[in-house]
Amino acid sequence: MAKRELGPAAEQVARAVDTFTGHGDWGVACSGGPDSMALAAGLAWVARRRQVRCPVWLVDHQLQPGSGEVVRRAAAALTQKFRAQLDPRVLTVTVISDGSGPEAAARGVRLAALAAAARHLGVGVLLGHTLDDQAESVLLGLARGSGARSLAGMPQQRDHDGVRLGRPLLGLRRAVTRQAAEEWGLPVWDDPHNADPRYARVRVRDRVLPTLAAELGPGIPEALARTADQLRVDSDWLDQQTPTLPAEPRCAELADLPAPLLHRSLRDWLREAGGEVTSGHLLAVVGLVHDWHGQGPLQLPGLQVSRRAGRLVRHQPTDHQPTDHAPIDHQGRSTRG
C-alpha cells in the first residue's frame, strides 16, 4: 500500500505496527477506544501487505450498562472495513472483586481471557498502550515509591502465562492514535472511566501532567518515557543477576547479598506466595535479615512472614508458626511472661 493512501497519523501507527511485528504472528486486544481501534487498523494494514488474516479480541467486562453493545459495534465496524484482514471476536468476561481494586481485577481477568484465546491460536497479543500511558505509569510508580521496576514503566514486549504481549505504540502520543482512527474512518468509544477523577490514573492525566507541563515546559511525557527506557535497561540487568530464593531461605545467605539483589529477590519471593507488598513491607522483611532482635511475625497483605531457626518462613495469617523468639508487642516487648 502506497504511503499516500494513509493519512499522516495512520501512517505513523501502521509503520510502528509493521516494525514491531516483524514476521511474528499477532492478534489485537481491542476495547473499542481510539488507541486499540487504531492499533487494529494498523495490524490490518500490515496483514494486507503480508496476505494474512489476524484475530481481534474485543473484551466485554460487563462493568457498565451497554458494554456488550459497545464491543459489538466495534466488531462490526472492523469487520466492515477490514473483512479480509481481521477476524473480530467478542470475549465476555466476569470481573470478581479480589481486593485489588476494580482496575486491577478487570486487568487480571482480561489478560487471562486474552492469553487463553491467543494460546489456542498460537499468536501473541498486541496492546494499545501509548507514550501517554507510559508517562502516567511512571508517575504512578513514583508516587507509590515502588522502586526501579515500577519507574521502568511498561516493557514493549513481555510474556504473560506463556503468551507474548506486545505494545507497538509506546512511542506514539495518544493524540496520534485518535487522529489515526479518524483518518481510517473508524468509530471510537470513550470509556467514561477514563474521565472519572476517582481513579488515580485519570487525575495524573487530567491534572498532574498538565500542571507539570505548565510549570516545567512541554515534553514532560516524552521525558518520562525516556526515563523509563533508561531504567528498564538497568532493571533488566539486575533481574538477570537476582537469585531465585528457595521456599525457606537462610538468613545468613541473604545477608551476604548486595542490597539491590536482596530487595529484588525478597520482593519476588513474597509475590510468589501471593503477597502484594509496598516498599515499607519489603523493608520490614529486610529487617528480619539485617536487624533481627526477636521481632514477631510480620503481617503483610494476605501473608505472614517470620524468622524461624535462621530462615525466613512464609505462611498464611491463620497458620501458627513458632519463631526464633517470643512474639513482641508494638513497642518491642515480649508478650510472654
Helix (H) or strand (E) holding 143: helix 131-144
Going by the annotation, the residues of the binding site are 31-36
Q: Which of 23, 40, 20 is nearest to 32 (CA)?
A: 40
Residue with cell 451497554: 66
CB atoms within 10 A of CB 259: 9
Q: Do residues 189 and 70 lie in contact, with contact meaning Cβ atoms separated by under 8 Å? A: yes
104-122 exposure pattern, b = at least 16 Cβ within 10 A, e = fewer = ebbeebbbebbbebbeeee
Q: Do residues 314 and 273 lie in contact, with contact meaning Cβ atoms separated by under 8 Å? A: yes
Going by the annotation, the residues of the binding site for ATP are 31-36
CA distance linking residue 275 with residue 55, whole number of Å: 35
- Residue 82 identity: F
CA distance linking residue 200 with residue 222, whole number of Å: 20
Provide the total of helices (H) and of strands (E) in the chain, helices listed first: 13, 9
Q: Which of 54, 10, 57 is nearest to 31 (CA)?
A: 57
Interhelix angle 34-50/8-21, rounded to 10 degrees, is 60
Tell me the β-bridge partners of 233: none
DSSP state, residue 293: S
